[in-house]
Amino acid sequence: MATPAYTGPFGKAQAERLLWRAGFGPRPGEAARLAKLGLDEAVRSLVRPGPEKLVGPEPKEDRGRPLAPVDAYGHDHLWWLDRMVRTSRPLVERMTLVWHDWFATSNAGVGSQRLMLQQNALLRRHALGSFRELLLALTVDPAMLLWLSGTENTRRSPNENYARELMELFTLGEGNGYTERDVREQARALTGWRYTWRRGAGAVDFRFDRERHDPGMKVIFGRRGTFDWRDACNLCLQHPRHPRFLVEKLWGAFVPVPPDEATRAELERLYRTDYRVRPVLEAILRHPALYTGPRMVKPPAVYLAGLLRGLGRGVDTASWVWLGGMAGQRLFYPPDVAGWDDGRWLDTATFRGRWAVANYALSPYSLSDRRGPTVPNDPEAIVAGALRVVGEPTIRPETRELLLRFARSSLAGARTGWKAKAYPPLVANAVRQLLVTSPDYQTC
Amino acid sequence: MARCCSDYTRSALLRRGVAEAGLGLPGVEPGMPLPAGSGLTRRRLLARSLGLALAVYGGSSLRPEAFEAGIEAAAAAGAPERVLVSVFLDGGADALSMLFPAEDPLYRSLRPRLALPADQGTPFAEDGRLRWHPSLGALATLHGEGKLSVAPGMGYTTPNQSHFTSRHFYEVGATSVRTRTGWLGRYLDRAGTPDNPLQGLSLDSRLQPALATAKLPTAAIDGPDRYDFWTRGVWGEVAERMLAAIRDLGTLPHRGDPGLEAAADAALQSHRLHGQLAPFRPKEGSTGIPSPVPYPASEDAFPRRLAGLAAMLAAGLPVRVVALRAPGMYDTHDSQPAELAEALRLTAESLLAFQRDLEARGLADRVLVHVWSEFGRRARENGSDGTDHGAAGIGLLLGSRVTGRLIGEFPGLQRLDEHGNLRATSDFRALYCAILEQWLGADAEAIVPGARGFQRPQLLRA
């Protein structure tokens, strides 16, 4: 038995949704090209991409200098945003973001852009691979060891921080098949990691130290053994509740309504054999629920990266750092270990944040009656031009009609006199801004 | 049954209750006892953040319009009689510089480079040994008018010298690292309503941890004057029409699609909030909020936020407790003299302007300001023109109703603790109990752990 696949028409609109859900939206013309491949090939091109090519202008900060992601404040954010904008492997980058949210580690607790970027590379390396390998690597990743007190966890004074989140957030779900005793015993199994503090370099040489490890007998999920950190991970993976947790959470990153029972069971089966994520992703991206179900609010980083892709603009200003915070997603700084609240991206504050993001993104293209091309005093042409400048996104007819009405009424009193020349660019700027902050464009 | 089975949404799966969204509780630093599994951490403030207008924390079951209706209803019912404003001096302010024992030879020997000249600053009327820091003339003025009570040795037994731990104690109102709610948050949980986020207002881009509630909503707002929808190359009547179009886009039918609905709601609510905050936006050509008195000019948001707060109170918005950070960084390990002088001056002059503003608006009897810091600093200066983390610090209470009398006494330099720090002569939890009971009319025993054991100071004039 296989999971169902979408069989309806696979046109530009469907390809567009796929590119937004599984990546960062289309570049101009990309959705139409993907649609020509048909669903199977389109999904295949995402889950089995070729080697990465970075397409488009190199990233730079405001004065035109290259980024210094390890050293300069905020350049970590800019560096990743650039990967999102320029990558030829959007699903790899998108899954890197999914894992960042899943194993949410914040530099607010780690205090090292170097270690955060190292973790980011790890997430990318395992993006479409084995969850088992990812979990094992993450468990002893330096940023994670600092973030969830792994290096504070010793045989003499066990720290339960990672043990708890390992089960609650990473592999099983809150209270789902483990007890407080399991938390304590897992913490003992995870003991032993340490680092050396070197002046100037900070925390270096993360390593397992036998002296710090508790080698004693532990009982975890009812099983007895002298478990260590690898066992701690493997026991979670082998837990009967784990596959369901994983597939539901992964599904939730792409589809806003839960999978039906049969689909879920089949996804679990696909996953259970050897913990590979790729077949699960392929099944999710082909599933009818992705194409026929309700829309999802784009995460702020996805929204901006996609807007830049649509505009053909590269990362060329550090403003994206504070604007990212304002819109509710500063990369490398999730709010806590549970990650971003993906169900609540939009409120009055983050809406204004997105408005500011859109304004900054569109700024270089801003029109004026004193420079640049002449804007026709024609509502239809103005709306068509706005759609063109951001890469022809699909919007609902009623949204297009509303933008037209806005343009018409704004130009109504501007047929003659100074307004005839001054107003069309104003209206064009406003239509662009309204278009990319509309409910249609904020969702996919 | 796991949540993912009965109540499936991705966020429900990931999020563990809004109570724990008391972001920043507790902080994490090496050596600090970390509550296992909290996973919560203090986020660093983004220095350049423009701030998030009315980010609501907690009370997630309500939709935005319910909050707005709640705010309106609460405002219509009459603004709260009494408002508490909590001002945080971030980093551990040097109490020994704010009020310094000018003639004490011990002070000169402990602080050979940092000691302030004995003829500078205004003498402190209640204790002949002390003088105000030369930058604190504004506080000396308020003290002279009987509108300022000083606790020159605020602290607690077994002081912790970690910023995060000690700050956390002050924020939660207990010397416990496990408490997740702020002391003012617990007050709101008892006295507040489920639909009025303005009852607990962080004048900041994010929630101030002292306001973290277990169940009721609070709000964070950078300042009421900053909520705009500026767009490059759009102005005049076209900009006005554009604002209306935000609303129109928000009212297009979403036909039950939850994604579209969320985006449409956000647009609609943002448009409404923009309208509600219109009175606080500076008129074209002017900067800042119209205030009856001048505030210090500064890049820092502090004076602007206080001016905005006075305007909001004057407008009858239902604000009960407010928390914000004072300007400056008080963690003066080096280059203390210049940094401290500047931070103190702006803080004190802004607070004086706020008091004058409230007096001019006839609101002064309704507002009490509490100024605190996580600790004071070491009595002996360090080798880099600075001071290291200490124990007892300074606390201030400001307002037209305060007694204007000392709370506890100056601890003196003769008997420092074993680390060379000032000893506490008053306990912050005792002060919290007194504020809760005497100012907010609340039951301190239900809010401050061990409240029964604390001797309350008399805060208000009879």
CA distance B391 to B157: 9
Contact B37 A164 (CB under 8 A): yes
Half-sphere exposure of B90 (CA within 13 A, CB side): 12
pLDDT of residue A443: 98
Tell which of A236, A271, A292 closes a domain: A292
Residue A134 is assigned to a structural domain of this protein: yes
The pLDDT of residue A80: 98
Among the partner residues A244, A348, A434, nearest to B249 by beta-carbon distance:
A434
Inspect the interface and report whether the beta carbons of A174 and B16 lie closer than 8 Å.
yes
Instruction: Give the list of residues 6+ apart from residue B367 with CB closer than 8 angstroms, or none.
Output: B82, B83, B84, B85, B313, B358, B399
Nearest to A379 by CA among A422, A428, A414: A428
- Burial state string for B118-147 with b = 16 or more CB within 10 A and e = fewer than 16: eeebbebebeebbbbbbbbbbbbbbbeeeb
Quick check: bond before B26 cis, omega within 30?
yes
Domain end, chosen from A260, A292, A324, is at: A292
Which whole-number Å values give the CA distances from B45 to A384, B52, B207, in the listed order?
Answer: 41, 12, 11
Distance CA B122, CA B131 (A): 6
Percent of chain A exceeding pLDDT 70 equals 100
Interface test with A, best of B52, B202, B243 (most A CBs within 10 A): B52
- Note whether B405 and B149 are within 8 A (CB): yes
Whose CA is closest to A430, among A380, A367, A340?
A: A367
**Same-domain pairing of A168 and A25:** yes
pLDDT, mean of residues B376-391: 91
Residue B270 pLDDT: 83
Q: Residue B68 has what pLDDT? A: 60
One-letter identity of residue A212: R
CB contact under 8 A, B263 and A344: no
Nearest Cα of chain B lies from the Cα of A57 at a distance, in angstroms, of 24
> B209 falls in which pLDDT band (50, 70, 90)?
confident
Q: Among partner residues B10, B44, B245, which is closest to A342 by beta-carbon distance?
A: B10
Cβ proximity of B214 and B185 under 8 Å? yes
Task: List pLDDT tens digits, range B109-164.
Answer: 999 999 999 999 999 999 999 999 999 999 999 999 999 999 999 999 999 887 77
Higher pLDDT, A120 or B178: A120
- Smallest CA–CA distance, residue B153 to chain A, in Å, is 32
Residue from A348, A411, A438 whose CB has the most chain B CBs within 10 Å, to mutate? A348
Residues in A touching B220 (Cβ below 8 Å): 349
B49 Cβ contact list (under 8 Å, min separation 6)? A322, A325, A326, B205
Q: Which chain A residue lies closest to B27 (C-alpha atoms)?
A: A109
Domain carrying residue A45: 12-55+69-292
In the beta sheet, which residues pair with residue A197? A203
pLDDT value at position B26?
30
Residue B286 has what pLDDT? 57
pLDDT band at A24 (very low <50, low <70, confident <90, very high): very high
CA distance B409 to chain A (A): 38
Q: Tens digits of per-residue pLDDT, B236-276?
A: 999 999 999 999 999 999 999 999 999 998 898 888 778 87
Q: Which tens digits make up the pLDDT trace of A179-211?
A: 989 999 999 999 999 999 998 888 999 999 999
* Alpha carbon B49 to chain centroid, angstroms: 18
Q: Is residue A77 packed enough to be buried (19+ CB in 10 Å), middle (13-18) or exposed (0-12)?
A: buried
Q: Which residue of A has its CA nearest to B3?
A: A174
Residue A426 and residue B265: Cβ atoms within 8 Å?
Answer: no
Cα angle vertex A162, ends A157, A167, to 5°? 130
Cβ–Cβ pairs < 8 A, chains A and B: 238
- What ipTM describes this predicted complex? 0.93
- Whether residues B34 and A398 touch (CB distance < 8 A) is answered with no
The verdict on a CB contact (< 8 Å) between B258 and A399 is no
Edge-to-edge strands, sheet with B55-57:
B55-57, B218-220, B200-202, B321-325, B83-89, B367-373, B393-398, B148-155, B426-427
CA gap B173, B450 in Å, rounded: 10
Residues 6+ away with beta carbon under 8 Å from A140: A150, A193, A206, A208, A229
The yes or no reply on domain B15-226+301-453 and CATH 3.40.720 is yes
pLDDT band of B196, cuts 50, 70, 90: confident
DSSP-derived pairing of the beta strands B200-202 and A223-225: unpaired
Inter-chain CB proximity B266 and A367 less than 8 Å: no
Confidence grade of residue A35 (pLDDT, cut at 50, 70, 90): very high
Residues from chain A that touch B205, judged by Cβ atoms under 8 A, are 325
Residue B279 corresponds to which tokens in the numbers above? 């009175």
- Do A389 and A278 sit in the same domain of this protein? no
Which among A292, A313, A340 is the end of a domain? Answer: A292
Residue A262 to residue A247: CA distance in whole angstroms? 12
Answer whether A235's CB lies under 8 Å from A220's CB.
yes
CA–CA distance, A346 with A442 (Å, rounded to integer): 9
Nearest to A338 among B16, B36, B266 (CB): B16
In a domain, A233, yes or no: yes
Summary mean pLDDT of chain A: 95
Residue A301 lies in a domain: no
Using CB atoms, which residue from B16, B37, B64 is nearest to A161? B37
Residues A163 and A253 in one domain: yes
Q: Could you tell me if A67 and A321 are in contact, meaning their C-beta atoms sit under 8 angstroms apart?
A: no
CB B201 within 8 A of CB B319: yes
The full 3-state SS of A167-222, as one line of letters, equals HHHHHCCCCCCCCHHHHHHHHHHCCCEEEEEECCCEEEEEEECHHHCCCCCEEECC
B11 contacts A173? CB cut-off 8 A: no
- Would you state the structure tokens that stand for residue B383, as one six-digit string? 């080798």
pTM of the full predicted structure?
0.70
Query: In B195-354, where do the E strands start and end?
Result: 200-202, 218-220, 321-325
| A101 in a structural domain | yes
Domain count, chain A: 2
The whole-angstrom distance between residue B381's C-alpha and the CA centroid of its chain comes to 28
First and final CA of chain A: distance in angstroms? 30
CA distance B106 to B303: 37
Q: Is residue A430 part of a domain?
A: yes
pLDDT value, residue B433? 98
**Between A161, A169, A350, which is nearest B36 by CB?**
A161
The pLDDT value given to residue B110: 97
For chain B, the distance separating the N- and C-terminal CA atoms, rounded to the nearest angstrom, is: 57
**Domain chopping of chain B, boundaries:** 15-226+301-453, 236-276
Query: Does the residue A320 lie in any domain?
Result: no
A51 burial level (CB within 10 Å; 0-12, 13-18, 19+): exposed
Interchain proximity A406–B55, CB inside 8 Å: no
DSSP output for A109-148: HH--HHHHHHHHHHHHHTTTSBHHHHHHHHHT-HHHHHHT
Contact yes or no for B10 and A343 at CB 8 A: yes
Contact in structure between B401 and B435 (CB atoms under 8 Å): no
In angstroms, rounded to a whole number, what is the distance separating the alpha carbons of residues B324 and B336?
A: 23
Report the range of poorest mean pLDDT among A258-272, A371-385, B435-449: A371-385
Say which residue the tokens 């001002």 belong to.
Answer: B87
Nearest to B37 among A165, A258, A433 (CB): A165
Same domain assignment for residues A250 and A384? no
Q: Which residue has the tokens 């001096």?
A: B89
Tokens for A173? 């779900």
E strand segments, B207-365: 218-220, 321-325
Asked, for residue A79, whether it belongs to a domain, the answer is yes
Nearest to B233 among A175, A249, A426 (CB): A426
Residue B445 pLDDT greater than 70, yes or no: yes
List of chain B residues whose C-beta atoms are within 8 Å of the C-beta of residue A357 = none
**The total number of residues written for chain B in this structure:** 462
Window from A115-124, A136-145, B158-167 with minimum mean pLDDT: B158-167
For all residues of chain B together, what is the average pLDDT?
82
**Cross-chain Cβ contact B37/A341 below 8 Å:** no
Q: How far is A339 from chain B (nearest CA, A)?
A: 7
CA atoms of A18 and A25, how far apart (whole Å): 8
Q: Which of B39, B231, B235 has its CB closest to that of A336?
A: B39
Contact B367, B319 (CB under 8 A): no
Average pLDDT over residues A213-227: 97
Residue A22 distance to chain B (closest CA, Å): 16
- Residues on chain A touching B206 (C-beta within 8 angstroms): none
- Does B60 sit within 8 Å of A245, measured CB to CB? no
User: What is the rounded CA–CA span in Å between residue B339 and residue A438?
Assistant: 46
**Burial category of B30 from C-beta neighbours within 10 Å (exposed 0-12, middle 13-18, buried 19 and up):** exposed
Residue B295 in tokens: 């505030």
Q: Which residues of B touch A148 (CB under 8 A)?
A: 39
Task: Determine how β-strand B148-155 pairs with β-strand B426-427.
Answer: parallel
Most confident of A361-375, B379-393, B398-412: B398-412
- Average the pLDDT over A149-178 and give the result: 91
DSSP-derived letter for residue B206 is S
Nearest to A333 among B43, B235, B236 (CB): B43
**Chain A residue closest to B18 (CA)?**
A341
Q: Residue A28: inside a domain, yes or no?
A: yes
pLDDT at A249 over 60: yes
**Residue B204 confidence class, pLDDT cut points 50, 70, 90:** confident
| 3-state DSSP percent of chain B in helix, strand and coil, to 5 | 35, 10, 50
